[in-house]
Amino acid sequence: MKAKARSSTVCAVLLLVQSPAYLAVRAQEPAVVPLPKPQMQGGKPVLDALRERRSSRSFRPDKLPPELLGTLLWAAFGVNRPADGHRTAPSAMNRQEIDVYVCTADGVYLYDAPGHALRVIRREDMRAATGRQDFVRVAPLNLVLVADYGRMTRVPDDKKPVWSAVSAGAIVQNVYLLCASEGLATVVRGTFDEAELARALQLRPEQKVVVAQTVGWPAATSETAPAMPRQ
């Protein structure tokens, strides 16, 4: 009887998601989500933010306000010189090969820096795919930095991984400093299943995951991550 009940429930769900009414509602959902104008002035002095920069692995699940999310993404790799499209972080030969993917409980998005908006990739919670640590499922935001080798024209193939890693590192530090300024917790991560994450983000073959970074409000028990001993 239980098996029949489960089968009936599955059939009902399949009929629902295939119904014209459901498909009509999904079709009306925006493919692009505009972000509020970022805060480009104020905040803590740079030296104060550097002094307070830290890694944390304890997060509250509370979502970031849209205004703060917009400022965070702009600080990460937004356009700070609209006249020529240059960004807040450098890239070799100005290839701007790094894409910032945004994973939240609501779905997966791609940050459109020129338009300062989020482009919808999928409306599923894929945070668990961004890393093997338990906290990636708790924190409201996981950023994934992806290198698009297709944009790295005139760059030798053997240099693409190194140069894109340098570009991603600059973005990571921007996020760290913004988090220090705004009282957010963050940690950069390199432990994830690259193939699984590529599928979750629906990446093309020429796109390669470089690194991930978790962001959120610090939990009450949040402490500075212990530094690795020097060799």
Average pLDDT over residues 196-208: 98
Q: Which residues contact 11 (CB under 8 A, 6 or more apart)?
A: none
pLDDT in tens, 77-129: 999 999 999 999 999 999 999 999 999 999 999 999 999 999 999 999 999 99
Torsion, CA 170, CA 140, CA 227, CA 178, rounded to 10: 40
Q: How far apart are CA 107 and CA 40, in angstroms?
A: 27
How much is the pTM? 0.84
In terms of Cα–Cα distance, which of 129, 79, 82 is closest to 101?
129
30 band by pLDDT with thresholds 50, 70 and 90: confident
Q: How far apart are CA 131 and CA 109, in angstroms?
A: 17
In terms of Cα–Cα distance, which of 201, 217, 173, 183 is closest to 103?
201
Q: What is the mean pLDDT of the chain?
A: 90
What's the pLDDT score for residue 18?
A: 58
Under a CB-based contact definition with an 8 Å cutoff, are residues 100 and 145 in contact? yes
C-alpha atoms less than 13 angstroms from C-alpha of 191 in its C-beta half-sphere? 6
Average pLDDT over residues 51-63: 98
